[in-house]
Amino acid sequence: MVTNGDRLRGGGADVTALDVDAARVALIAENLQRLSRTARLCVGDARDPATFWDGVPFERILVDAPCSSTGVIRRHPDIKLLRRPGDVPAFAAMQLAILRAAVTMLSPGGRMLYSTCSVLREENERVVAALIAAEPSMRPVALPAPWRVPGAIEQAPGVQLLPSGAAGTDGFYYACVEKATTGS
Ligand SMILES: C[S@@+](CC[C@H](N)C(=O)[O-])C[C@H]1O[C@@H](n2cnc3c(N)ncnc32)[C@H](O)[C@@H]1O
């Protein structure tokens, strides 16, 4: 989550990084130190901004959401054994709740990138469609050319990468949404 996007574009930004898992936040701290970068680190539930947010809106938010991880099964085959039928709807509900909470922290005109390592529509474009239906202030943003890597499949408003794709990536989905500058 980024405030002061002008500095981001020019190099440097006020970054807040959040995870519900303290061990993951410790890893972020290690990576920041290694890369000589700084960020405000928070352990908290993204669905509950009151527990970690100081009320200053973010100009940019990346929601790299918890998901079924179906896009990385080739590297983690145990996922096929561990997933249960109810997991995907539960992930979709959590993803939507996280996105809706993030909308409250986004500044007018601010943009949010949603990503998952899932190949399932239920967790990807359907979650974004549900967000736009639930939050009239939000609209999809077309992804510019550099985001359209070889083999990427259009799944409006985002892009789906498959593990079998030309770019040789894991399965991954990303979509961008923007908050209206006024009104609704
Ligand atoms: C796809 S991973 C993000 C990985 C991260 N971008 C990285 O590079 O390490 C999803 C993360 O969401 C975290 N998470 C799950 N539920 C959460 C919640 N309610 N609030 C905040 N973080 C949550 C998980 O602990 C996990 O680290």
Model confidence at 151: pLDDT above 80: yes
**Across residues 106-120, what is the average pLDDT?**
97
71 lines ligand 1 (CB under 6 A): no
The residue whose CB lies within 8 Å of the most ligand 1 atoms, and thus the one to mutate among 15, 18, 24, is: 24
**Across residues 82-99, what is the average pLDDT?**
97
pLDDT score recorded for residue 10: 52
pLDDT score recorded for residue 117: 98
For the CA of 67, the closest atom of ligand 1 is 1
Tokens of 22: 């303290």
How far is ligand 1, taken at its centre, from the CA of residue 133, in Å? Answer: 24
Model confidence at 20: pLDDT above 90: yes
Which band of pLDDT confidence, cut at 50, 70 and 90, is reported for residue 183? low
Q: Where are the domains of the chain?
A: 45-179
Model confidence at 105: pLDDT above 90: yes
Residues tagged active-site: 117
0.85 exceeded by pTM: yes
Contacts of 76 (CB under 8 A, 6+ apart): 69
Quickly count: other Cβ atoms within 10 Å of residue 92's Cβ.
22
Tokens of 142: 């077309």
How far is ligand 1, taken at its centre, from the CA of residue 67, in Å? Answer: 9
Considering only residues 141 and 150, tell me which one the structure prediction assigns the higher pLDDT. Answer: 141
Model confidence at 7: pLDDT above 80: no
Q: Could you tell me which CATH class the domain 45-179 is placed in?
A: alpha beta
For residues 149 and 138, give the distance between their C-alpha atoms in angstroms, rounded to a whole number: 25
